[in-house]
């Protein structure tokens, strides 16, 4: 599969979803070579620029530029984003793809409507890329004793 084919298929899925989705994934370069997925529940924030403005069919996704956009939002990077950046750097930035179960930006997952709890994009990424490792990350409320809970599955 080429990057162009990958993009085209993913955009078809996005068009079937209600409303404006946030971002389907983040990675450095080609998502097709990523063997590690870091998975959250849903994106907390939305950038102004459309997701696909950070994409080229020849090189893939420009994550560094996207993260700079997140940093420019009010209050900068979220606590969760900071944790994810640490984990992704340790796992190997070029091998890591970040995604969410649900593609709609809300500060808290409990704010998602039933209509927004769609897994089409997540399923497409899993089926197409076939990661070897999936790390599911959830950040607990500040009142909890442990701030980050994660589960890791090795596939294949």
Is the predicted pLDDT of residue 146 greater than 50, yes or no?
no
Contact predicate 45/70, CB 8 Å: yes
Query: 142 or 87, which is more confident?
Result: 87
Contact predicate 116/100, CB 8 Å: no
For residues 29 and 70, give the distance between their C-alpha atoms in angstroms, rounded to a whole number. 18
For residues 34 and 140, give the distance between their C-alpha atoms in angstroms, rounded to a whole number. 27
pLDDT tens digits for 24-61?
999 999 999 999 999 999 988 888 899 999 999 999 99
pLDDT band at 147 (very low <50, low <70, confident <90, very high): very low
Domain boundaries of the chain, sorted by first residue: 3-154
Q: Looking at residue 54, what is its pLDDT?
A: 97
Which residues, in sequence order, are CB contacts of 25 under 8 Å at separation 6+? 31, 61, 97, 98, 99, 121, 125
pLDDT tens digits for 71-110?
898 888 888 888 889 989 998 889 999 999 999 988 888 8
The topology under which CATH files domain 3-154 is Uracil-DNA Glycosylase, subunit E (3.40.470)
Taking every pair of Cα atoms in the chain, the longest distance, rounded to a whole number of angstroms, is: 45
- Three-state SS sequence of the chain: CCHHHHHHHHHHHHHHCCCCCCCCEECEECHHHCCEEEEECCCCCCCCCCHHHHEECCCEEEHHHHHHHHHCCCCCCCHHHHHHHHHHHHHCHHHEEEEECCCCCCCCHHHCCHHHCCCHHHHHHHHHHCCCEEEEEEECCCCCCCCEEEEEEECC
């Amino acid at each position: 599969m080429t990057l162009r084919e990958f993009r085209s298929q993913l955009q078809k899925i996005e068009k079937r979803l209600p409303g404006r989705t946030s971002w389907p994934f983040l990675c450095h370069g080609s998502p097709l070579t990523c063997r590690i997925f870091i998975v959250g529940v849903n994106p907390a924030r939305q950038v102004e620029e459309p997701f696909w403005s950070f994409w080229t069919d020849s090189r893939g996704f420009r994550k560094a530029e996207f993260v700079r956009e997140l940093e420019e939002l009010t209050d900068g990077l979220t606590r969760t984003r900071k944790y994810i950046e640490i984990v992704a750097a340790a796992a190997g930035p070029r091998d890591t793809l970040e995604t969410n179960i649900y593609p709609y930006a809300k500060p808290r997952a409990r704010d998602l409507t039933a209509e927004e709890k769609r897994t089409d994009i997540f399923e497409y990424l899993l089926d197409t890329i076939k990661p070897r490792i999936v790390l599911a990350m959830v950040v607990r409320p500040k009142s909890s004793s442990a701030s980050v809970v994660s589960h890791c599955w090795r596939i294949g």
